[in-house]
Every structure is written in C-alpha cells, then in structure tokens.
Structure 1
Amino acid sequence: MLFRSTTDTHTDLDRVTAVTVDEPVGWIPADRYLEELKEGMYRPEWTWIAEDGDRVVARALWWGHADGEHPLALDCLYVDPSVPDRAAVGAGLITAGLRAFAEQGATKPPLYNLTLPTGWRQDPAVVAALDWRHEAARAAGLTDQVERLRLEWTPDAGLPVSSGRLTFTEGSDEEFLDVFRRIAVGSLDGETRRNLASMGAEATAREEVDFYLGCPGERSWWRLARTPDGQVAGLALPSATPYNRNVGYLGVVPELRGQGYVDDVLAEITRVQVEAGAELITATTDTDNAPMAAAFARAGYRTAQTRMIYSVPEASETASEASEGSPAASAAAS
C-alpha cells in the first residue's frame, strides 16, 4: 500500500473529492474542501491518500491558516470499510503525513480534531466510527487525548446579565501577558495545564498572546477586567476563527476565583461580540472543566458538538524540538 500526498492535478483532485463518509462523525465534503483549497486552508501537499493499486482506500485532510507555512490540524480521516484493518491503515497514513511535515520544518505535529455529536456514547454507530480512528491516532503517536465541548450562543438566548461588579478597560500586550501568566496558575483548562507543565508560565503566556494576536478577531476587542478599586480580576479576549466569532479566551486571577466573576467576564465577551455584529458566537471548553461549562450554560450557551482532540504529548514534542500551542480556543477560569 502506498501512502502519499496529492499533487496539483485534476486526477488527484477528482479522486480526493470523490470520497464520501457515511459514518456519523464530522467530515469534510467536496464543496467545502474545494472552497478552502482555493483559499489555501487545504493544500495538495497537506492532503494525503492511501492507494491499493489504482484504488484510493484512505484519505487524510490536514488544515491550516491560509497564510500558514504548515498545517495545524487533521480535520478528516477516512479509511474505506472494505479495508480489513482500518486502524492500521489510518495510522500509517497519519504517520506518513506527520513525518513529511516534520521534514518540511514543522515544529509541532498537527493535532487530530474529530467532531462527534452530543450524546455520542449512547450511539453504537458513533462509538464504532470513533474506535478505529482512536486506535489509528494513538498508533501514530497522538496519544494525548482531550474531550471538549463546542458551545454556541445565538440571539434567542438573550444577552447574559452582568452583575456590574467589574469594569473593563483596554490594555497593552504586556499587561495582557502579565494576566495570562497569572491565570495559568491553577487553570482547569487541559491545554493550559499541559503547556504550563512543559514550558512554564512565561512561555505559556507569551504563546497565548501571540496566538490570539494572529487570529482573525480584532485586537481592539480585548479587555482587562477590574474590580471597583482598580485591581485586575482577569481578562476577556473576544476572538474569531475563519468561520465564526468566538469567545476566544477568558480567565480570572487565582485570588479572585470562586466569586462568580467568570459570569461577568463571559457576559462582557458576549456583549462585545454582539455589538460587533455577531449572530453566532462559538466557544469550547474541556469536559473536565465543569465550572467553565456551568458558566457557559448560565450565559445561554448550548452544547452543539463534542470534539475529541488527539495530539503528541508535550514530552515527545520537547524531545523532537517542537513547540507552539494548539489552535483550539480556550476558556480558562474556575
């Protein structure tokens, strides 16, 4: 079996777009692939196939920013049901792609982002579709697994009410860097905790600031949260992806947690987004971060999907001289 990236030819393009996925998990249909291929978010060299003779039996689509040099995430993994060991072929395809990206200078292996419907554990078809992909990801070295909720706010939920206890002001990058550094301590967000353990507070904070500065959202949306006496209580970073407005990042400093300030910060982010014209605001949080999930529920955000995210453990990345944080939006507060 041959694992290879595609070429910029009509033959390869036709074969890639002919693939359809009938399993109940997130996948990339031909129209979306073609649209984002034109924008540079999918690319022939980031699109990999497995060939058995003249037949395509597997496909892996990696996604990245239109102006990015390397892919950030595996968006869609498919192996034909006729293949006896789908997990083994999927693992081989992922491994081949990750090896090529590393040889091309990628400093961190892209993660694998698999979208599942809510309540997926009660659906045997979803469980079966996840099982072989789970095995493939782990066999390819993506052994760090996080389950995240994808949430949505729409106008029918109404604007969340703020208590009025906090004021929100603009700040410099260095001020935001300092607050990022502080809120990383004791965070329940899995990505933040992993980065903190592997890189330390300073590098974690710098990475978060740099990441959000590179997002499509406006820098002018960022706010520092302050108590009536001027004490910094946290931060609110409304942001955006190429697809939607999102919550971005929010956090409360450790010494002020447990007082409900997270509700005020989330209300401010929602207000800023709505005033900027948002009709849909998305957010993600780890399923383990129960306080943040509860805050989203109180603010009228509903769970729309579940995402299973697989990545190379930080220790392995360090050994291979890799760094840089996940593009997944975070909500770090408790």
Structure 2
Amino acid sequence: MTVLTFRPLAAGEEDLFDSLPDPLPELRQASFADGLASGGFAHSRAWIALADDKLVARAAWVLPPGAVGRPWLERFDAASPEVGAALLTEAHAALGGPLPYYAAAPAHWRQRPESKAVVDVRREAARRAGLVERGERLRLTWAGANLPATSGRHTFRPVTGEDEIRSLVARIGRPDIVTGAETALAVLGADLASAPLPWLRTAKWLVSEEVGLVAAAGDHCYPLIGYLGLLDAGAREELIAEAVRVLSGAGAREVVADVDSYRVEVLAALERTGFRQVRSRIVLT
C-alpha cells in the first residue's frame, strides 16, 4: 500500500525539490536553490509530497526580502489534483491559512492540450484546497518590432510632478495596463491601479492632458510599461508606442506589459503595436 507523506523541505534537499521534471519548461522557472540564494524562497515555505519516498508533488511560496505583504505560491506541481490539494491543505495549515497562487501558464495554453492538462491539474488542486479563481493576466513582450508612425495629433511631455500623476490616476479610474501588480502588492502593499507611485516613483511618466498618461519603467527587473491609463481610448496605440520609444531609446531591446485577459481591446492594441503573448498568470486567492 502506498504511503503518502507531506512535509516541509529540509535544508540540503534543494536537489530533491528540483528532481521532479518540469512539465512546462518553456516558462523557465528558477531552481529552488537559486530562489533560496536570492532570499525569496525559504525551506519553511517549501513543501513536498512523497509516495514511498518518491517525490509526487512540490510547492514553494515566495516572498522577496523586505516585502511587507504575504507570500504567494510560485512553484507548484502535482501528479494529480488529489495529491496536490492534500499537499496544499497541509501546507496552508502550517503557514497560517491559504495564500495567493499566481499560476503561471504558457501563452495560449487553452489551445495546447498538453499545457492545458498540466494547468488544469494545478487549478483543480488549488480549488480543492480552498482557493478561488479571480481572473487571468497576460504578459506580452515587444522585442524590436516596427512601431506604428505617430499621428501627430498628440503631444506627450514629462509630468510636472507627483500631484499631476495622482490627479490623472484619479480621473482615469481603471487603467489599461499595470505590469507587475502582484509583486507590487506583495512587496510594498501598493495597488498599481489606484496608487502606482510607490512602485513606479522612478519611472519616466509621460502625459497628454487630453489622452492620458503612461509610466515607462526601465529600472525594474526589465523594461516595462508599468502603468497606462487613458482619457481618450482612440489614442491607445499611440501612447503604447510612445512608451516603447522612450524605453528602446534608452537601450531596451525588450519591453513587457501585463493586461487582464478580458481586456480584449487593450490586448489587440498591444498586438498591433508589435507585442506578442509570452505567458499567462491565473490569479487564485
């Protein structure tokens, strides 16, 4: 009879955690040892499931050093939803309750049967462990594609100060793009949609009083459109392109942007500007 054991990862078992084959290698997950070295992973926040000493599930929650928020589930693989749910349930009890899970998936994963099968196991396991699916965010990358020509109708300038940013953010309400929202919330407790300045204070903010504003951030993990909010939806592509020009002019060869999957008009504008989908993150809390 198979005996299942659920327990935290012990020091020196980093190779054991990584011994389970990665079912979605295109996502390029960091090894547990690398995450441990950077300070985001910890043995106390990594759990494994063993079936007669064979690894059948693993989970690791990450929290960057100095972060003020709660850890989130970053690495999770399981042989079945049943085993995965049991592992998460045991870990949640030890960690003080269910924690958010940002389930990474390849671009267009629903149209790829092998990828869908892996993602569905993770989603079902999380659901059985008490998490609820709240939405999906797509990551897109611009990597040197030709940008559309400017129409000449709009003039973008640097913002005059933080008060102007706050005033426009309040007028916009729901931005088109916020990139890295999950990390900003965990690290600083910042809501990028309503209060982006704590996370994007050093970004280059460009504004047009009639159109909206955009934050081109080049000093985060990679160049990105941190925030894009519109007063005139007809200028969406032009504002996206302007942010990319600023970043590429400063040497960026790649620019990333995150958008909620249901924002089809924003997704289409990004793709017309030369962005391509590279990843999905399903939000479960």
Report the TM-score when normalising by structure 1: 0.70
Q: Secondary structure at the match of 1:222?
A: strand
How far 1:101 sits from its partner (Å)? 4.2
1:4 aligns with 2:7: yes
Match of 1:224 among 196, 207, 222: 207
Q: Deviation string for 1:205-243 (max 9, x for gaps)?
A: 554333434xxxxx141223334xxxxx31111236864
Q: List per-residue Cα deviations over 1:16-38 (Å, max 9, x = no partner).
A: 122222357746353xx333321
Please list the CA deviations of residues 285-325 of structure 1 after superposition, one character each: whole Å capped at 9, or x if unmatched. Answer: 122111101211221112223x141322xxxxxxxxxxxxx
What is the distance in 2 between the residues matched to 1:304 and 1:131?
A: 19
Match of 1:150 in 2: 139
Offset of 1:87 from its aligned partner?
A: 0.9
Counterpart residue number, 2:161: 172
Deviations 1:81-107 (CA, angstroms, capped at 9, x unpaired): xxxxx212212333344444447xxxx
Contact kept in structure 2, 1:240 and 1:248, CA below 8 Å: no
- 2:75 maps to 76
User: Match for residue 116 of structure 1?
Assistant: 106
Q: Does 1:209 align with 2:197?
A: yes
TM-aligned CA deviation for residue 143 of structure 1 = 1.3
* Per-residue CA distance 1:174-225 (angstroms, 9 max, x = gap): 332222222225x67799xxxxxxxxxxx87554333434xxxxx1412233
Matches within 5 A, 1:1-334: 1-7=4-10, 9-10=11-12, 12-22=13-23, 26=27, 28=29, 30=31, 33-68=32-67, 72-80=71-79, 86-102=80-96, 109-118=99-108, 120-155=109-144, 157-164=145-152, 165-185=154-174, 206-213=194-201, 219-227=202-210, 233-239=211-217, 243-253=221-231, 257-258=232-233, 260-305=234-279, 307-312=280-285
Q: Which moved more, 1:237-246 or 1:267-276?
A: 237-246
Distance verdict in 2 for CA 1:128–1:204, change over 3 Å: closer
Consecutive unaligned residues of structure 2, counting only runs of 5 or more, are: 180-190
Alignment deviations for residues 34-91 of structure 1 (CA, whole Å, 9 cap, x no partner): 33321112222232212345333211122333432555432221123xxxxx212212
Go from structure 1 to structure 2 and tell me whether the alpha carbon gap of 1:134 and 1:179 turns closer, same or farther (over 3 Å shift): same
Whole-Å separation in 2 of the counterparts to 1:48 and 1:95: 11
Give 1:251 shift. 0.8
Question: Structure 1 pair 15/241, CA: closer, same or farther in 2 (3 Å)?
Answer: farther
| Inter-CA distance 291–175: structure 2 relative to 1 (3 Å threshold) | same
Q: Distance in 1 between matches of 2:178 and 2:206?
A: 23
Residue 330 of structure 1 is matched in structure 2 by: none
Cα deviation per residue 1:102-131 (whole Å; 9 max; x = unaligned)? 47xxxx93232222243x333322222122
What is the distance in 2 between the residues matched to 1:72 and 1:207? Answer: 21
| In structure 2, distance between residues paired with 1:71 and 1:242 | 21
Q: TM-score, normalised by structure 2?
A: 0.80
Query: Over aligned residue pairs, what C-alpha RMSD do you find?
Result: 3.0
**Would the aligned equivalents of 1:25 and 1:114 in 2 still touch at CA under 8 Å?**
no
Equivalent pair of 2:61/2:74 in contact (CA under 8 Å): yes
How many residue pairs get aligned? The number is 270
Contact 1:40–1:65 under 8 Å retained in 2? yes
Q: Which secondary structure state, in structure 2, belongs to the residue aligned with residue 177 of structure 1?
A: helix
8 A Cα contact 1:70 1:101, kept in partner: no
Partner SS state of residue 38, structure 1: helix
- Which 5+ residue runs of structure 1 have no aligned equivalent? 81-85, 192-202, 214-218, 228-232, 313-334
Paired letter, 2:146: G
- The answer as to whether partners of 1:247 and 1:282 remain within 8 angstroms in 2 is yes
